[in-house]
C-alpha cells in the first residue's frame, strides 16, 4: 500500500527567508507572500525520485515547487535571489538576513537541480528500455477487464447493474479516503519542516551553550583578576591622594584613574555577556519545549495516517471482493445465455419437425 511517511519525502535543507512573488499584472513589482521570515525547505521523494521546494505560512503553502533541470536560481543582490516556476506561471523571490545564507541556498539549489537532471536522464533511459520491451511483448489483455455486453435477460441484467453500482460506490469511497490521506501527508510535511527547523536551531543553541559553559570558568578567573587589579589600583590612588604629591605623581594618578575606568568598563561588558548567555539558556529550554510539542504532533499524525491506510486497505479488499462477485455473476449470466441459446435451438428444431408433420 502506501509507504510510511519517512519513506516518502524527507527534508534535506532548510533556511529562513522572506518570500515574494512577482506581480502577475506588471511582471516587475514584487508582492510579499509572507508578513515575516518563514522556513523554506528542500524535500526529496525517494519513491518518485523528485525534489521539491516547500514553504508553509500559517495553514497554507506559500511555495510548492517541483525542481526541474531547466530552473535557474539567480542572485540579484547580496541578500536576494529568485527563480521562475513555469508550472505555476510565477517567479519566486527570497530575501535572506545574510549573504552567507543566500550563498548556502544557491549552492543547495544548484545541487538539487543537478540531481533532478540525473534523475530525469535515468527515467528517460528506463522508458526507452520499457518501450523496446513492449514492442516485442504480446498485446495487452486489458480488454478482458472491460465490462461484458449486457444480454437481454432481465434477471442477470439486474444483478449486473447492482454489481456495477456497488463498484462505483466503493471507488468513490476509496478516492475520498485517498484525498484525506493526501491532506494528512501535507500536514506531515509541514510538521517535518517545523521539526527540522527546530532541530537545526536546537543544535546551534546547544553548541553555543557548550561554548559558553567552557568559557564561563575562564571568564570568572579573569573577572576575579580584574577585581583584584581594580582594588590594588584604588588603593594606590588613595595613597597618592593622601600624600598629596605634585608633578610626576599627578601624571601617575591620571594613568591609574584611566586604567581603573578601563577595567570598570571591561567588567561591565563581561557582566552583559554573562546576562546574554543566561537569556540564551532560557531560549534553549523554550526551544526544547517547542521541539517536544512538534514531535508529539508528528506522532499523532503518524497514528492518523496509519488509521487511514488501514481503512484504505479494507476498502480495497471490499473492492476486490466486489470485483470477484461481479466476475462470478458474469460467468453465471454467460452460462444462462448459453442454456437459453440451446433451448431456443431445440424449440426451433421442434417447431420445424411439427411443421413437417403437419405438411405430411
pLDDT score, position 138: 46
pLDDT score, position 151: 41
Give the distance from CA 39 to its chain's centroid: 11
Task: Say if residue 243 is exposed, middle or buried (CB neighbours under 10 Å; 0-12, 13-18, 19+).
Answer: exposed
| Residues 62 and 33 sit within 8 Å (Cβ to Cβ) | yes
Q: pLDDT by residue (tens digit) across 130-178?
A: 665 655 444 443 444 444 444 444 444 444 445 555 556 656 666 766 6
pLDDT score, position 220: 79
CA distance 132 to 275: 71
Q: pLDDT by residue (tens digit) across 183-214?
A: 655 566 656 666 666 766 677 777 777 777 77
**Close Cβ partners of 41 (under 8 Å, ≥ 6 residues apart):** 11, 13, 14, 15, 53, 54, 55, 193, 196, 197
- Position 305 confidence tier, pLDDT thresholds 50, 70, 90: confident
Neighbours of 339 (CB within 10 A): 10
4 has pLDDT over 50: no
Q: pLDDT by residue (tens digit) across 74-110?
A: 999 999 999 999 888 899 999 999 999 999 999 999 9
Q: What proportion of the chain, given as a percentage, has pLDDT over 70?
A: 74
- Position 129 confidence tier, pLDDT thresholds 50, 70, 90: low
- Return the minimum-mean-pLDDT range out of 40-49, 113-122, 226-235, 338-347: 226-235
pLDDT score, position 274: 82
Select the more confidently predicted residue: 169 or 237. Answer: 237
- Position 113 confidence tier, pLDDT thresholds 50, 70, 90: very high
- Return the minimum-mean-pLDDT range out of 154-163, 226-235, 255-264: 154-163
CA distance 73 to 81: 7
| Residues 24 and 56 sit within 8 Å (Cβ to Cβ) | no
pLDDT score, position 121: 85
Average pLDDT over residues 176-182: 63
φ, ψ (nearest 5 deg) of residue 62: -80, -40
Q: What proportion of the chain, given as a percentage, has pLDDT over 90?
A: 25
| Residues 108 and 42 sit within 8 Å (Cβ to Cβ) | yes
Cell output for 309: 491506510
Average pLDDT over residues 291-303: 86
Mean pLDDT in the chain? 78
- Position 19 confidence tier, pLDDT thresholds 50, 70, 90: very high
Average pLDDT over residues 45-68: 89
Select the more confidently predicted residue: 107 or 225. Answer: 107
Amino acid at each position: 500500500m502506501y509507504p510510511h511517511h519517512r519513506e516518502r519525502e524527507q527534508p534535506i535543507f532548510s533556511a529562513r527567508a522572506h518570500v515574494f512573488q512577482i506581480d502577475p499584472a506588471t511582471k516587475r513589482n514584487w508582492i510579499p507572500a509572507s508578513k515575516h521570515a518563514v522556513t523554506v525547505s528542500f524535500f526529496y521523494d525517494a519513491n518518485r525520485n523528485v525534489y521539491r521546494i516547500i514553504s508553509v505560512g500559517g495553514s497554507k503553502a506559500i511555495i510548492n515547487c517541483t525542481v526541474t533541470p531547466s530552473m535557474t536560481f539567480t542572485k540579484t543582490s547580496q541578500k536576494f535571489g529568485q527563480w521562475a516556476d513555469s508550472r505555476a506561471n510565477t517567479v519566486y523571490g527570497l530575501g535572506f538576513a545574510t549573504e552567507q545564507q543566500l550563498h548556502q541556498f544557491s549552492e543547495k539549489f544548484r545541487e538539487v537541480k543537478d540531481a533532478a537532471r540525473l534523475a530525469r536522464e535515468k527515467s528517460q533511459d528506463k522508458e526507452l528500455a520499457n518501450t523496446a520491451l513492449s514492442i516485442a511483448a504480446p498485446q495487452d489483455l486489458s480488454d478482458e477487464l472491460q465490462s461484458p455486453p449486457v444480454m437481454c435477460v432481465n434477471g442477470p441484467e439486474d444483478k449486473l447493474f447492482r454489481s456495477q453500482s456497488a463498484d462505483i460506490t466503493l471507488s468513490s469511497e476509496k478516492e475520498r479516503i485517498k484525498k484525506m490521506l493526501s491532506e494528512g501527508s501535507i500536514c506531515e510535511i509541514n510538521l517535518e519542516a517545523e521539526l527540522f527547523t527546530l532541530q537545526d536551531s536546537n543544535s546551534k543553541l546547544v553548541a553555543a551553550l557548550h561554548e559558553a559553559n567552557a568559557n564561563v570558568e575562564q571568564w570568572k578567573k579573569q573577572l576575579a583578576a580584574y577585581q583584584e587589579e581594580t582594588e590594588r589600583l584604588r588603593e594606590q590612588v588613595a595613597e597618592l591622594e593622601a600624600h598629596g604629591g605634585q608633578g610626576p605623581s599627578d601624571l601617575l594618578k591620571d594613568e591609574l584613574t584611566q586604567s581603573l575606568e578601563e577595567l570598570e568598563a571591561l567588567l561591565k561588558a563581561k557582566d552583559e555577556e554573562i546576562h546574554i548567555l543566561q537569556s540564551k539558556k532560557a531560549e534553549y529550554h523554550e526551544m526544547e519545549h517547542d521541539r517536544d510539542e512538534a514531535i508529539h504532533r508528528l506522532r499523532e499524525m503518524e497514528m492518523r495516517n496509519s488509521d487511514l491506510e488501514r481503512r484504505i486497505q479494507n476498502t480495497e479488499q471490499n473492492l476486490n471482493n466486489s470485483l470477484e462477485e461481479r466476475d462470478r455473476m458474469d460467468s453465471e449470466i454467460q452460462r444462462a445465455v448459453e442454456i437459453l441459446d440451446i433451448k431456443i435451438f431445440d424449440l426451433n428444431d421442434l417447431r420445424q419437425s411439427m411443421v413437417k408433420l403437419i405438411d405430411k
